[in-house]
Amino acid sequence: MKKTIAILPGDGIGPEVTAQAVKVLDAIGERFQHQFFYNTALVGAIAIDKTGDPLPQATLDLCLSADAVLFGAIGDPKYDNDPGAKVRPEQGLLRLRKSLGLFANIRPVTTYSTLLHLSPLRPERIKGADFVIFRELTGGIYFGEKSRDAVKAQDLCVYHDYEIERIAKLAFEAAQKRRKKLLLVDKANVLETSRLWREVVQRMAPSYPDIEVGYMFVDNAAMQIIQWPTQFDVILTENMFGDILSDEASVLAGSMGLLPSASIGERSALFEPIHGSYPQAAGQDVANPMAAILSAGMMLDHFGLKEEATTIYRTTKHVLEKGVGTQELDLQYAYSCSQIGDLIAHLISDAADLNLDQQQTTERTSTII
> Which residues form the catalytic set?
142, 187, 219, 243, 247
Q: Looking at 86-94, 163-171, 172-180, 211-219, which segment touches ligand IPM (CB under 6 A)?
A: 86-94
Least Å distance between CB 93 and ligand IPM? 5
Q: CB 152 → ligand IPM: shortest distance, Å? A: 23
Residue 53 vs 243, nearer CB to ligand IPM: 243
When asked if residue 90 is in the footprint of ligand IPM (CB under 6 A), the reply is: yes
Give whichever of 236 and 305 is closer to ligand IPM, judged by the CB atom.
Answer: 236
Closer Cβ to ligand IPM, 90 or 130, answer by number: 90
Q: Which stretch binds ligand IPM (CB under 6 A): 19-27, 88-96, 295-303, 346-354?
A: 88-96
Sole window of 24-32, 87-95, 199-207, 211-219 interacting with ligand IPM (rule: CB under 6 A): 87-95
Interaction between residue 269 and ligand IPM (CB under 6 A): no
Query: Nearest to Mg ion by Cβ — which residue?
Result: 243
For Mg ion, the binding residues (CB under 5 A) are 243
Q: What is the 3-state secondary structure (H, E, C) of the chain?
A: CEEEEEEEEECCCHHHHHHHHHHHHHHHHHHHCCEEEEEECCCCHHHHHHHCCCCCHHHHHHHHHCCEEEEEECCCHHHHCCCCCCCCHHHHHHHHHHHCCCCEEEEEEECCHHHHHHCCCCHHHHCCCEEEEEEECCCHHHCCCEEECCCCEEECCCCCHHHHHHHHHHHHHHHHHCCCEEEEEECCCCCHHHHHHHHHHHHHHHHCCCCEEEEEEHHHHHHHHHHCHHHCCEEEECHHHHHHHHHHHHHHHCCHHHCEEEEECCCCEEEEECCCCCHHHCCCCCCCCHHHHHHHHHHHHHCCCHHHHHHHHHHHHHHHHCCEECHHHCCCEECCHHHHHHHHHHHHHCCCCCCCCHHHHHHCCCCCC
Q: How far is the CB of 90 from ligand IPM (least distance, A)?
A: 4
Which residue of 136, 243, 308, 342 would you call a contact of ligand IPM, by CB under 6 A?
243
Using CB under 6 A as the binding rule, whether residue 342 contacts ligand IPM is answered as no
Instruction: Decide whether 24 or 106 has the Cβ nearer to Mg ion.
Output: 106
Q: Binding residue for ligand IPM (CB under 6 A) from 42, 93, 298, 309?
A: 93
Residue nearest to ligand IPM (CB): 90
Q: Where do contacts with ligand IPM occur on this chain (CB under 6 A)?
A: 90, 93-94, 243
